[in-house]
Amino acid sequence: MELLFALPWTHEILEHFQSTHGYSLVKYLPLLFSKENSFDAASSPYTEEYSYGNYTKSGSSIHSVRFRQTLSQCYREYLRYHTEWAHRFGIQYSAQPSYNQPLSFVRGASSSLPPYFLTLSVE
């Protein structure tokens, strides 16, 4: 199943973010609605983008980068939970780690055994 979204989110993301980075993300939420955080990073979900605060050398908001780090951590926990659940019942589990999502693919892939990789070819 593929979901289109303006911003990936989970109920506890703000708490995870604050415990990991030591500050509240609420003030920086408008920065997160950007192309780099959207589904497949193809386009910005809205016509307006905001900029304030600190930025990396590549031009990404440091708060947006930290948000994706936190989201990737939550995603690894999600994969770990489902993998362990499936193994408890003797079920094989595989996933497309971070498919078209602004998450760390390599870290996601290492959390799910065996990962499912999709190869597309165009004629």
Q: Is residue 7 part of a domain?
A: no
- Which residues does 94 contact at the CB level (< 8 Å), separation at least 6? 112, 113, 114, 115, 116
pTM beyond 0.75: the answer is no
Over residues 66-90, the pLDDT tens digits come to 988 898 888 888 888 888 998 899 9
pLDDT confidence of 1, banded at 50, 70, 90?
very low
Parent domain of 89: 13-111
Overall domain count for the chain: 1
Q: Is residue 18 part of a domain?
A: yes
Q: Is residue 42 part of a domain?
A: yes
Q: Is residue 56 part of a domain?
A: yes
Q: 5-40: b or e for each residue (b if 16 or more CB lie within 10 Å)?
A: eebbeeeebeebbeeeeeeebeebeebbbbebbbbe
According to the model, what pLDDT value does residue 88 have?
Answer: 93
Q: Is residue 5 part of a domain?
A: no
Q: Is residue 59 part of a domain?
A: yes
Q: Is residue 3 part of a domain?
A: no
How many Å apart are CA 87 and CA 19, to the nearest integer?
30
